[in-house]
Each structure stands twice: as C-alpha cells, then as structure tokens.
Amino acid sequence: MLVDAISLAVFRSLFESIAEEMGVTLQRAAFSPNIRERLDFSCAVFDAQARMVAQAAHIPVHLGSMPASVEYALREFDQLVPGDVIVLNDPYRGGTHLPDITMVSPVFIEGEPRFFVASRAHHADVGGMSPGSLPLSSELHQEGLIIPPVKLMVSGWVNEGVLALIAANSRTPDERLGDIEAQLAAQRVGEYRILSLVVEHGPQRVQQHAAALIDYSRRLTQAAIGSIPRGTYSFEDALEGDGQQNKHIPIHVKITVADDALEVDFSGSAAQVAGNVNAVTAIVRSATYYCVRLLMSDDVPMNHGCFEPVHVLTPPHSVLNPDYPAAVAVGNTETGQRIVDAVLGALAVALPDKIPAASQGTMNNVTIGGIYEGRPFVYYETIAGGHGAGPRAPGLSARHSHMTNTRNTPVEALEAALPLRVLEYRIREGSGGAGKQRGGDGIRRVYEFLAGATVTVNSERRVYAPYSLKGGQAGKVGVNRVIRKAAPRPRFPTKRQKPPEPDEGMMGGKFTTQMEAGDVLVIETPGGGGWGKEERS
C-alpha cells in the first residue's frame, strides 16, 4: 500500500487532531482551575507497541515521559478487553510525580488492541503531608496516594472502589471526581475518533501510516543530529537545595555526537538526595528529548521516531535515577528544568550561534490549601518568568518556558474560586540579563490571603542566576517573601505602646508556612540570561 507525502501529511493531521480533541474535551469538562484554566494536562495516541504516534501541543515533560506509563500499564495487564481504562501515577512505574494521574485505554480493531490513547493531568491534590501534594518531603510516601497500574474501568464499567479510594485521599474529593470524569471523557473521545478513522480508511492503511510517521520523524531527527559538529561536549549546572537543606546539587552532562545519533550521559551528577528534587529516569529522558526536538523545525512530527536516535544514560542511585522510595515531588518541575539548562549549555558549545541563554530555570510552584466557610480548598499553579535571549532575538518576558507549557491562572478565575486577592500581577522590569540581545523579564505576583491557609513554595534560581552566553549578563534570581499582617493598632496608643510594623520576611527557594488572613505572599520570578556583549554607543 502506497504511503506518499500527501497521504502522510493528511494522516499526521488526523492523528494529531485526535490528541487535540481529547485535550479540548478534558479542558472543558474539568472542575479545577489548574486543568481548566492553566491547561496542565497532555494527551497522546500510541500504537500497539506503545510507541507514541502523535501528541497534542501540550506539556513537554508529560509527553516525553508518558510512553513509560503506557509501557508499564501494558506490562501489568497483558490481557485487556474493550472498555478497560488503566490508571496510574507511581513515578517508579511510569509516572512523573504523584499529582500527575495518567489514564491509558486500548482501542480494539478486529479483536486486537492496535492503538492506545492516553491522557495525563495534574490533579491539584492527591493527599500527602501538605495541601497540593508537593511537600518538602523526604520519601515518596509523604507526597500522596501512590496508584500502581490498576483498572479504573473494567469492560466499560467504572471500578467504584478505585474511584472512591482516590477521592478519599484528596483534600478536595469532589474536585478530584470531577477532574477524573473529565479525563475519562477525553479517553472516550480518543477511542471513538480512532475507530472512526479506521472505519473511513481501513485498519491496514491507518496502521501503515502510523508506522510511516514514526519512521519519517526518526529520519528527520537523524538529519538534525547530523548537522551538529562531531565531538563530545560537556556542561554542568546545579540545583540549590532539596527542601531539606540548602546545598549544591550538580547536574553534569556529556553529549557525544555520532553520525546520526546522540549519547547523552549524566554521569558525574549528584548522588540521590534526601529531599524532593530527585527525578526518575522518565523525566530525564523527557527533558533530553525536548532539547533535541528544539534543534528541528516545526514541521517534524513529534512521535516515537524523535526519541530513537537519542540514547540517555543516568547513573544509578543518583539524583537523576533514584532508588525507591526516594522523594520526587519536584524532580519533575525543578530538576527537569535544570536538565534542560545543562543539555542546552552543552549544545551551546557545539552550536554557539544557535542556542539561547538560560531561561528562568524554574516553574515557581505554589500550592495553597485550607478551609474557608466550612469547605476545603486546594490550589496549585506555576508562574512564568523570563526566556533566555538568543543570537537573533531578545528573550520573551513573562512566559512559561521549556518543560512547562501551561498558562498562568487568570486573576479573575483565581479570585472567584479561592479566598485570595491578587494585589499585583505585572512584569518584573529589569530582571532580564543585559546583552546584545536582552533576556526576558520575569513576573511579580502578590497574593493577599482572605483566610488562613498552608502555603508551600518549591522554586529554584533563588541563588544561582540563569546563565548568559557569549558575554551577556545573567538574569536576576527570583525572590520569595512573606509579609505578615501587622497586629491591630492600639486605639489610644501610649508612649510605651509603639504600633507594631509589618514583618517582611525573605524566604528560601523551598518552604512551607502557615498564612493568616491579611498575610501577603510575594513571588518574583527570575529573568532570562542575556546573549552577547552589550553594544554601547
């Protein structure tokens, strides 16, 4: 059967549209602002060998690691029937961190599972030692409910026990149930659309084009690698702490470029740490694949073929390949960003006129939870910052970068859903690094609490600034502050009763604190690094 350029382009669009429609369904049906407003979810289509065929333009860290979830799901259940849906979140069995819940559904064609559809959504709370399930943990069990691969639906019937177990372990069970139902709706849409595609074009033609797309992407990836000068390139960056103590945690990478393949070796990186920045290997691979994908044009379909020529090595017992049950809550969000910085830093040695300076290098994770008017609430968001400048353009300001592709939560949506008031939300002018091309500026976001709440912030680049390239200046580091509400002013103060002043407290990159009504949280995110020496007139 002939696969020509036109039919390949048509089927690429067909497969990608399935993943996109799944995402639209999930967004519109979701309950939580994190999924509905920030779009913290991803959807993809896989073939019978668990190879990704197509993805929607969603979260890079999800999509590069989701194949591991599909592989573990199929390893656990080699006998599936129509109507089955497998759910999991275990980072050591295909997940990333516990709030990311993945669903995998087989699509049966002629009695066999010939395709799979999968979705991953970040649920605002799955239990654990602090609201939002991104605590300053020292082991996985402190981070929330661990879901191994298990059937959430069996032959089209909901496994009510599993559903009840997930809801019972969340501080906001109604919201969890609503978001899970939204994910299930997305799964049904994906299955239906693939079946419709098969009815219209026939199973053999659909499968053949899926395989051809993977082969096409592999060849384009090999060609992109072939444009890199042969050699070995190294770079080292570092994390600033693990939530247990402030410490230097190096991330070292050595990239060896062969004719049509890359070996990316992270030997020399830090040993496994006690805190929550350990990253499972699926995240390391995902961040590395993303960097390679940046070298290619937008016309390259993102699928399994993009991964095949890239070989990632992670040393065992390290921060990039930890032993169960090491804490991993923000290995996904923070360590994933630093892996990107390290890999791009190495590639900048090989391609000095193509690679930009470092972007903000953190997701600035903010989780908030408490009880207001008798009802529990939990909120999670990441906050944008500055992009690194490149050889031909300045960095973008106030944008999410690299391993996150979410939106910021609109002020109106946040204030409507939570007992919070946003006092400031603006660009942090001057935070981008100077240079021939200036780095993008970060964001200043200031929250006033209208009720008591527990706040946990997991952030980086509060000590080590985003690096510059070619003689530019580094971006400014981020800042976290907590301003406590002043005690009531005495009605008739005396000389001995000096009115108390507000207490403005600088916080570290990772902290948990109790906020009271009237307290203020200030988050200033890092700017991107500058590129090239600044030209002065």
Q: What is the full per-residue pLDDT of the chain (537 aa) written as tens digits?
A: 578 999 999 999 999 999 999 999 999 999 999 899 988 999 999 999 999 999 886 667 766 778 899 999 999 998 999 999 999 999 999 899 999 999 999 999 999 999 999 999 999 999 999 999 999 999 999 999 999 999 999 999 999 999 999 999 999 999 999 999 999 999 999 999 999 999 999 999 999 999 999 999 999 999 999 999 999 999 999 999 999 999 999 999 999 999 889 999 999 999 999 999 999 999 999 999 999 999 987 788 999 999 999 999 999 999 999 999 999 999 999 999 999 999 999 999 999 999 999 999 999 999 999 999 999 999 999 999 999 999 999 999 999 999 887 888 899 989 998 999 999 999 999 999 999 999 999 999 999 999 999 999 999 999 999 999 999 999 999 999 999 986 455 555 555 555 445 556 899 999 999 999 999 999 999 999 999 998 876
Residue 419, preceding peptide bond in cis (omega within 30° of 0): no
Q: What is the pLDDT of residue 537?
A: 61
Distance, CA of 86 to CA of 154 (rounded, Å): 9
Kindly state the helix (H) or strand (E) to which residue 166 belongs, with its residue range.
helix 160-168
Contact between 52 and 46 (Cβ < 8 Å): yes
Which amino acid, one-letter code, is at 186? A
DSSP-derived pairing of the beta strands 85-88 and 150-154? antiparallel
Q: Record the pTM.
A: 0.94
| CA nearest to 40, candidates 123, 104, 105 | 123
| CA nearest to 152, candidates 106, 198, 86 | 86
DSSP secondary structure, 483-516, as one string: EEPPPPPPSS--TT-PPPPPEEEEE-SEEEEEE-
Which residues of 24-111 form beta strands (DSSP E)? Answer: 41-47, 52-55, 85-88, 100-109
Please compute Rg for the chain using Cα positions: 24
Q: What is the pLDDT of residue 128?
A: 97
Q: What is the pLDDT of residue 94?
A: 87
* Helix spans in 202-268 (H): 203-226
Distance, CA of 510 to CA of 247 (rounded, Å): 12
CA dihedral over 59, 61, 62, 63, signed as positive or negative:
positive
Residue located via tokens 């039919």:
7
Which amino acid, one-letter code, is at 508? G
Number of CB atoms found within 10 A of residue 362's CB: 30
Number of CB atoms found within 10 A of residue 196's CB: 12
DSSP-derived pairing of the beta strands 310-313 and 262-265? parallel
Contact between 54 and 213 (Cβ < 8 Å): yes
| CA nearest to 330, candidates 60, 97, 129, 147 | 97
Contact between 502 and 520 (Cβ < 8 Å): no
